[in-house]
Amino acid sequence: MGKGKLAKFEENKTFSNFFQPHYEDVSAHGFPLRGTWQTGFFKNTNPIVLELGCGKGEYTVGLGEKYPEKNFIGVDIKGARIWRGLKRCDEKNLKNVAFLRTRINNINLFFAPSEVREIWITFPDPQPKKENKRLTCQRFLDLYKRMLVPDGIIHLKTDDTMLYEYTLNEVIPNGKHKLLLHSDDLYKEGSPHLEVKEIQTYYEKIWLEMGKKIKYIRFQLNAE
């Protein structure tokens, strides 16, 4: 591991809005903020919004700036990437943003039932050969349903056509979930979904310059 990464890992520990509990400790003793993120950490009763696979935290920080009336938590396993989000958050003095370093398949250890209002999944690895690792497969949707409020919303933003079509096929059939909005070309002329386009990641900007189409899906999970 390079010295740069080690330095970032050490600096991460100095931020009061960064959490990286050990899996063994949490699984054995629980996570102290589970069920109390609002009052225990953010010191308010504002809605909790997660970004899963947040990477450098560009979307988490951007959402935190745009919606001060909500609390945002970026989740990723890559500590060196989260470091960038922590630095930006610190520079902007954002009090409604935190970062959690953990694997997403362990997410229910950190959030209680009905504790989360929204989930953002922004440009995840599409996992073309491993369906059960896609962040919109049924295995993960079942995890999200446990911690989302009954009318909670999930957002997917991707440049990958396969993942977009796969997710639509999981959401639409048999009325399994409620599709609220979708677009296979978010930035096409006349597209009205302005709020979804206001925040762009570094790679999103590059893909747009390359002429790639950005896709978006907004949906709710059935409570049953």
Among all residues, which ones are annotated catalytic?
125
Q: Is 73 left (phi over 0), alpha (psi -120 to 50) or beta?
A: beta
Residue type, 85: G
Instruction: Compute CA distances 139 → 5, 88, 165, whole Å.
Output: 32, 33, 17
Instruction: Compute CA distances 124 → 77, 100, 203, 204, whole Å.
Output: 13, 17, 12, 12
CA 50 to chain centre: 5
